[in-house]
Amino acid sequence: MESYDVTIIGAGVVGCAVAREASRLSLRIAVLEKELDVACGNSSRNTGMLHAGFTYAPGSLKAACAVEGNQEFDQVAEELDVPFKRTGKLVVGFDEKDEANILKFKRIGEINGVKGMEMIDRKQMDAIDPNAGGSFAMYVPSSGILDPMQYTIALAENACKNGVSFRFGHRVERIDRLEDGWMIHTSQGDVRTKWVINCAGMYASQISAMLGYPDYPVRGFKGEYYVLDKKAGRNMPIPIYPAPNEKGGFATHATPTIDGNVLIGPDSYLTDDFEDYKVTKEHMDGLYRDGLKMFKEMKREYFIRNFAGIRWKIYDPATGENKDFVLESDDANPFTVNLVGIESPGITCALPLARRAVAILREKEQPAPNPDFNPRREGIRRFSEMSLAEKEAAVAADPNYGEIICRCETVTRAEILKAIHNPLGVHTVTGIKNRTRATMGRCQGGYCETRITQMIEEELGILETEVRYSKAGSYMFTGKVR
């Protein structure tokens, strides 16, 4: 039976951030994840904004972690070798009500410590982005954009290199208390551990109850998105958000992605299905209508894909009010840290939350530092982003850089090979996609997907019938026809 000092449940951005922070200490650490890769939950189903922190209640954990996470991110991105742009953000208004709401949250932002926010008029907006809708705006310089999947992968790879074991396909089904820790029963056997850190995202309330904490009431706010082609991205230098409502919520916004596409969305409606990620025509039509108000250059011909995510908020059934993030450790449930309700801005807050979670464990256990901890991690260098001279040098050093596998995104065989041999041992097609962008272009994998599956077979020495697309059971082929 496997045995650890610390077991983290869930390999979303929060679990991977906790793993990375815990790997600074001399401890045996594992992450249990029910899916076959990191970032298979909402950590891959979001806008990828590094939020500034102006819509969260002063004094809340959300506000503190958002401002802290925002301010430190240039250094984090550099250490983990992940792309990041501090684009700023325009929060645009059309009328007096919008102006009142924007000013209300500007004041809240100032209390929270958000720097540099300023009101600007249409002429100043035009200088920043003539395609932004609205008559006036608040300019928020500290907002930024990142790739949430690359970020989660980077946190996990760094944790892994620093000694953390990742166990994919391990669904936690029951947890029993022992005298000196916990026995975790998973879909692939039992794991004994002293500490448990609950980072199970949408299922965090269920794990919370297994550990003796409340089964916190949650409700899901589903949001659908359109992904627009990079042609649209050329006309969008900065995220454009509508004025928040009185509670700080935003309707459909338009956001450039770090790779040059544009996201329109999310909208927001209630769901009680934990993993209902289907998209609907009704909502796509709504996104087009509302998206046009933010991004005047929006055209239907730019649409290449859609997806959905669900913000699981904990709330008070008596008042109906949404609540702050929960981060707790109760001696009645010894050796546990319970993180529940980590909805937006969980990407921005992941490392600050992780530091707080690990501080609890450090205080109780006082473990020695990990003498080999290295905060740095190297990502897969993109051929498409190299200069001509760099491309020539790359091909000379490794001829696999001379073969393009994904034509839309210019991804080479060398990059796919690096992704197949990733440190976490992830072997799905979406795993390759999330690490390289192959299949993410205009043709959405029509050209390269079969070539990638063939490379997976050859490199791993497996049969075509064993290649999986993303989830357990998502086998792609039943055999060869010729």
Ligand X SMILES: Cc1cc2nc3c(=O)[nH]c(=O)nc-3n(C[C@H](O)[C@H](O)[C@H](O)COP(=O)(O)OP(=O)(O)OC[C@H]3O[C@@H](n4cnc5c(N)ncnc54)[C@H](O)[C@@H]3O)c2cc1C
Binding site for ligand X (CB under 6 A): 9-15, 32-35, 40-43, 45-49, 51, 171-172, 199-203, 223, 266, 309-311, 342-348
Active-site position among 51, 170, 283, 427: 51
What CA–CA distances, in Å, run from 75 to 47, 82, 160? 21, 10, 20
Nearest distance in Å: CB 245, ligand X = 16
Is 51 known to be catalytic?
yes
Whose Cβ is closer to ligand X: residue 51's or residue 418's? Answer: 51
Residues 6+ apart with CB under 8 A from 185: 172, 173, 174, 175, 176
Whose Cβ is closer to ligand X: residue 220's or residue 418's? Answer: 220
Q: CA-CA distance, 409 to 380, in Å (whole number)?
A: 14
Whose Cβ is closer to ligand X: residue 13's or residue 153's? Answer: 13
Nearest distance in Å: CB 463, ligand X = 27
Three state DSSP letters for the chain: CEEEEEEEECCCHHHHHHHHHHCCECCCEEEEECCCCCCCCHHHCCCCEECCCCCCCCCCHHHHHHHHHHHCHHHHHHHHCCCEECCCEEEEECCHHHHHHHHHHHHHHHHHCCCCCEEEEHHHHHHHCCCECCCEEEEECCCEEECHHHHHHHHHHHHHHCCCEEEECCCEEEEEEECCEEEEEECCEEEEEEEEEECCHHHHHHHHHHCCCCCCCEEEEEEEEEEECHHHHCCCCCCEEECCCCCCCCCCEEEECCCCCEEEECCCEEECCCCCCCCCHHHHHHHHHHHHHHECCCCHHHEEEEEEEEEEEEECCCCCCECCCEEECCCCCCCEEEEECCCCCHHHHHHHHHHHHHHHHHHHHCCCECCCCCCCCCCCCCHHHCCHHHHHHHHHHCHHHHCEEECCCCEEHHHHHHHHCCCCCCCCHHHHHHHHCCCCCCCCCCCCHHHHHHHHHHHHCCCHHHCECCCCCCECCCCCCC
Whose Cβ is closer to ligand X: residue 250's or residue 373's? Answer: 250
Nearest distance in Å: CB 344, ligand X = 4
Dig out the tokens for 475 from the structure.
């086998």
Whose Cβ is closer to ligand X: residue 93's or residue 220's? Answer: 220
Nearest distance in Å: CB 11, ligand X = 5
Q: CA-CA distance, 11 to 19, in Å (whole number)?
A: 9
Whose Cβ is closer to ligand X: residue 211's or residue 304's? Answer: 211
Nearest distance in Å: CB 135, ligand X = 25
Nearest distance in Å: CB 291, ligand X = 15
Q: What residue type is 141 in one-letter code?
A: P
CB 325 within 8 Å of CB 356: no
Whose Cβ is closer to ligand X: residue 413's or residue 427's? Answer: 427
Largest interatomic CA distance in the chain: 68
CB 167 within 8 Å of CB 36: no
Residue with tokens 């002293």: 194
Nearest distance in Å: CB 179, ligand X = 24
Whose Cβ is closer to ligand X: residue 49's or residue 254's? Answer: 49
The residue whose Cβ lies closest to ligand X is 346
Nearest distance in Å: CB 474, ligand X = 14
Nearest distance in Å: CB 13, ligand X = 5
Whose Cβ is closer to ligand X: residue 203's or residue 226's? Answer: 203
Q: Which residues are catalytic?
A: 51
